[in-house]
């Protein structure tokens, strides 16, 4: 039985193309959309490199994939665009359920810094304040961080609350041999109080809006 969906069942990696922001322009080997969808859908479950990282944390050990939603749009509760997570998964744990927000990366950056994205407009100030409140940051602390990491992590928290889960994990599934953008991720993890001590391990937990948020980076190889 398939476990991946958009508005309909996704049985093949290429079924994701129609739901990408720029369609086939984002769909080719060596790009994150292709690598992420191919890795997860070929596996049919949590891919082995991801499972190995989950198993480093007692709370996430032996996690089971229940459902995966590709290109999941999450309402951030403020005016503006929704956050479009590459793969939002509901997973079963030994003691309940958790949300796994997966961001696929190869060489692509995490987008602009908050200080660059912030233009002083009321809408962006309101959004930034809401994201910072969720993640326990202030606007000064957020300025040198990548905006995408803020709203992806907050999305994991919001989806966990929507599903009635008390745990959420924002995980970067990287297929980069150079570990592109890893410094940005490490800096973000430190800023939100969930430092990642080593690659291949899940961070400690921070309580955000009643949800225990953790972060992780999975280093993987491009699909053969």
The tokens describing 132, both together, are: 């910072």
User: CB neighbours of 99 closer than 8 A, spacing ≥ 6?
Assistant: 88, 89, 90, 91, 156, 159, 160, 163, 165, 167, 168, 169
Residue-level pLDDT, tens digit, the chain, 224 residues: 566 665 567 778 777 777 676 556 666 777 898 999 999 999 999 999 999 999 999 999 999 999 999 989 999 999 999 999 999 999 999 999 999 999 999 999 999 999 999 999 999 999 999 999 999 999 999 999 999 999 999 999 999 999 999 999 999 999 999 999 999 999 999 999 999 987 899 999 999 999 999 999 999 999 87
pLDDT at res. 17: 73
pLDDT at res. 14: 79
Q: DSSP alpha helices (H): ranges in the chain? A: 32-43, 48-54, 114-117, 122-135, 139-142, 147-163, 182-191
The region, left, alpha or beta by phi > 0 then psi within -120 to 50, assigned to residue 144 is alpha
Distance CA 111, CA 46 (A): 27
Global pTM value: 0.89
Partnered with residue 98 across adjacent β-strands are: 91
pLDDT at res. 207: 98
Distance CA 138, CA 118 (A): 13
């Amino acid at each position: 039985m398939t476990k991946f969906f958009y508005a309909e069942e996704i049985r093949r990696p290429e079924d994701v193309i129609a739901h990408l922001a720029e369609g086939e322009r984002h769909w080719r080997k060596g790009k994150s959309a292709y690598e992420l969808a191919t890795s997860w859908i070929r596996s049919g479950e949590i891919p082995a490199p991801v499972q190995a990282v989950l198993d480093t944390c007692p709370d996430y050990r032996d996690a089971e994939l229940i459902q995966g939603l590709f290109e999941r749009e999450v309402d951030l509760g403020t005016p503006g665009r929704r956050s479009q997570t590459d793969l939002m998964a509901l997973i079963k744990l030994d003691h309940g359920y958790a949300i796994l927000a997966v961001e696929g990366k190869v060489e692509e950056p995490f987008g602009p810094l908050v200080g660059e994205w912030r233009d002083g407009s009321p809408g962006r100030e309101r959004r930034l304040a809401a994201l910072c409140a969720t993640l326990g940051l202030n606007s000064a602390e957020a300025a040198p961080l990548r905006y995408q990491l803020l709203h992806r992590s907050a999305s994991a928290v919001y989806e966990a609350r929507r599903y009635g889960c008390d745990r959420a994990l924002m995980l970067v599934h990287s297929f980069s041999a150079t570990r592109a953008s890893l410094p940005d991720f490490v800096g973000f993890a430190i800023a939100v109080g969930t430092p990642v001590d080593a690659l291949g391990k899940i961070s400690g937990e921070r309580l955000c809006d009643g949800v225990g948020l953790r972060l992780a980076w999975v280093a993987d190889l491009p699909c053969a």
